[in-house]
Amino acid sequence: MKKIKHSEITPENIYKKRRSFVKKLGFGASALAVSSFPLISNASSKDRNELTSYKDITTYNNYYEFGTSKGDPHRNSKMFKTHPWNISIEGEVDKPIKLSMEEISDSFLSEERVYRLRCVEGWSMVIPWMGFSLSKLLSKVNPTSKAKFVAFESIYDPDQMKGQKYPVLNWPYKEGLRIDEAMHPLTTVVTGLYGKKLPNQNGAPLRIFIPWKYGFKSAKAIVKIKLVEKMPMSSWMWASPREYGFYSNVNPNVNHPRWSQATERIIGEGIWAPRVKTLMFNGYGDQVANLYTGMDLKKFF
């Protein structure tokens, strides 16, 4: 099994060229990832699927552990230590384990996965993540029949994360998924982006990414994954249950009290670019809508 080395740094312009080359040929390592990206039929589809620049992805972040401004995570996470790093997988499982980051990168191959990130604030990016399906990681522990939900816990280290010194959120950051959502192949364990090691401000050394949900569902710097029977409480639900539901699927028909969810701005498009229409399930409906058949998504927002 050949692994993609994060140390093989590719300049962004070459990276983009290489991708379009692969796309034109219609085969190669990233062809799969490209084909899984939803096709959008409206006029702006070309701009919409264009990769967001590395600079914008790594300097415009919501990561309140490092501060509440968009530029804070980039500025304040430079010294963040991601080594050594252990992740424990526990709860309703046959064999709880503790894995080091090295063990994870040795046993799981990271592939390129281009997904759109839709923030609850009404903006979006297209990011070439590096990662693998969470289901692969969970299969290591054999969840029991009682495992109905998966709870994610991020690191708590106020000495390194100055945002945690203040009660901005109920630290440590917690998120959760229903087990079938967690086992869905689109739910990704992220270890890198743009073919490089995951930058600290994007959730190094390991985060999850759920493309059809608002960005805050995708917890960063994860240290604990716990399989549980009851629906876990996330940090944002705890902060404001009226605004942040457990599911938080991207849904242009359910209004957030503060942001328009019908439209979004594409990051990096410049001042004169108009908003574009937000897609149900962020454009991944073909693949995930069946997880919610029969559910009132206005009620379970």
Partner 1 sequence: MKKYFKPGIFILSTIPFLFIFYKIYFNKLGPEPVKEITHFTGEWTLIFICLTLSMSPLKRFTNLSVWTSFRRMLGLFIFFYATLHFLTYIGLDYRFDWNPIFDDVIKKKYVFIGFAAWVLLVPLAITSSQKMMKLLRNNWKRIHRLIYAIAIFGSLHYIWLSKTIFFKPLIYFIIIIVLLLLRIKINRKELNYG
Asked if 42 interacts with partner 1 (CB under 8 A), we say no
**For residues 27 and 272, which CB has a smaller minimum distance to partner 1 in the complex?**
272
Stretch that binds partner 1, among 82-90, 185-193, 253-261, 287-295 (CB under 8 A): 253-261
Of 78, 258, 277, 298, which one interacts with partner 1 (CB under 8 A)? 258
CA distance 57 to 193: 9
Site for partner 1 in 138-177 (CB under 8 A): 166-169
Q: Report whether 38 contacts 284 (CB < 8 A).
A: yes
- Taking the complex as a whole, the smallest distance from the CB of residue 140 to partner 1 amounts, in Å, to 35
For partner 1, the binding residues in 67-126 under the rule CB under 8 A are 68, 70, 123
The residue range among 32-40, 106-114, 206-214, 265-273 that interacts with partner 1, by the rule CB under 8 A, is: 265-273
CB of 228 to partner 1, least distance (A): 26
Count of residues touching partner 1 (by CB under 8 A): 25
> Does residue 33 belong to the site contacting partner 1 (CB under 8 A)?
no
Under the binding rule (CB under 8 A), the answer on residue 242 touching partner 1 is no
The CB-of-85 to partner 1 minimum distance in angstroms stands at 28
Cβ atoms within 10 Å of 60's Cβ, excluding its own = 19
- Residues 177-216, interacting with partner 1 (CB under 8 A): none
Considering only 20, 253, 255, 290, the residue that binds partner 1 (CB under 8 A) is: 255
The nearest distance, CB 10 to partner 1, in angstroms, is 22
**Residue 56 interacting with partner 1 (CB under 8 A):** yes
The identity of residue 297, as a single letter, is L
Q: Does 43 bind partner 1 (CB under 8 A)?
A: no
User: Residue written as tokens 């930058």?
Assistant: 199
Which C-beta is closer to partner 1: that of 70 or that of 230?
Answer: 70
Binding-site member from 6, 140, 178, 275 for partner 1 (CB under 8 A): 275
| Residue (of 124, 127, 129) closest to 44 by Cα position | 124
Binding site for partner 1 (CB under 8 A): 56, 59-60, 64, 68, 70, 123, 166-169, 239, 255, 257-258, 260, 262-263, 265, 267-268, 270-271, 274-275
